[in-house]
Amino acid sequence: MHTILVTGGAGYIGSHTVKRLLDAGYKVIVADDLSTGHASAVDKRAVFYQLDVRDNQAFGNVLDQEQVEAVLHCAGKIVVSESVKEPLKYFHHNVSGLNEVLKVVAEKGIKKFMFSSTASIYGNNCFNIKAVETTQVAPTNPYAASKHIGEQMIHWVSERYQMNYVIFRYFNVAGAEMDASNGLRTENPTHLVPSINLTLLGKRPVFEIFGDDYQTADGTCIRDYIHVCDLARAHQLGMDYLFNGGQSTVFNLGTEQGYSVKQVADTAERITGIPLNVKISERRSGDPDFVLANAGKARERLDWVPEHSLEEIIQSDFHWRKQF
């Protein structure tokens, strides 16, 4: 049984991935300071340490004690609009934090590393074109820039210390466990699908569409929405790839289907039967017009195909939120 440590494993993507790794037979260690994560989200089969992964000694002790063979780095800050307002906060957590993790991973001789990156590093360079992994990167906000820097750091550290890595560039992750046992637990989420569902459930007075003057058919941003459980399965397949001798590489993770903000809102109204109170507001800084994946590489090398539809993404998140 191989042992994997997941930083940020009490967060949204981290906790779903932890479950999937455990189901696949891995031993999983979670390291999370709970600044944004939730201990209740961590699968009880995992070994949990509440710590800041930037604490070199504490993090190194866990790697030694648990004989960790691979690290999945999910910890970090992820809100685009916040990154525009507080860029230094994002470089501190996402760049300096990763530097501390890599320093200890290199010192301990760990040779397998996985990183949560983002498709937003492509900026507007995939306008009306599905982004491939070689599409030129052009971050339009500090969050995306911090992830691009992180990718470069991992590449050069791997060159120096003979570490193999998988970097996943996520497109727009949403949804919850289909049995409503876990989902996005952020108190005031800014993500599209939770924002729509919170409004449909009467927990917010209005759903805001930030800009309807983008260069798209209906004027609202187009994104590629991927179910969090499909994303978690990709991480498990990525770990299988590394443990089977896979070489360092980057994968896009998306469905290759694009939906505008208005299309997602209309779909939510249709499947719930609840009218949505919508307000058009000004654009948010840093939002590209169009972001869509070409996930052929993950399909070919990992045998990964997303299984969940947009309707299932919306519905699973709706049922998760309906409990509270």
The answer to whether 161 is a known catalytic residue is: no
Two structure tokens written together for 63: 């790697």
**Alpha-carbon span 155 to 139, nearest angstrom:** 18
3-state SS track over 119-139: HHHHCCCCCCCCECCCCCCCC
Cα–Cα separations (whole angstroms), residue 171 to 103, 110, 228, 231:
28, 28, 11, 10
The torsion angles phi and psi of 202, rounded to 5 degrees, stand at 80, 15
Of 49, 90, 143, 165, which one is the catalytic site residue?
143
Which run of H or of E encompasses 146?
helix 142-161
β-sheet bridge partners, residue 249:
166
Contact at 8 Å (CB) between 139 and 118? Answer: no
Helices 261-272 and 192-200 cross at an angle (nearest 10°) of 40
Q: What is the DSSP secondary structure assignment for residue 213, as one 8-state letter?
A: -
Contact at 8 Å (CB) between 231 and 17? Answer: yes
Q: How many CB atoms lie within 10 A of CB 32?
A: 27
Q: How many CB atoms lie within 10 A of CB 324?
A: 8
Amino acid at 41: A
Contact at 8 Å (CB) between 7 and 44? Answer: no
Contact at 8 Å (CB) between 120 and 79? Answer: no
- What's the CA dihedral at 180, 184, 185, 187 to 10 degrees? -130
Burial class (CB in 10 A: 0-12, 13-18, 19+), 114: buried
Q: Provide the annotated active-site residues.
A: 143
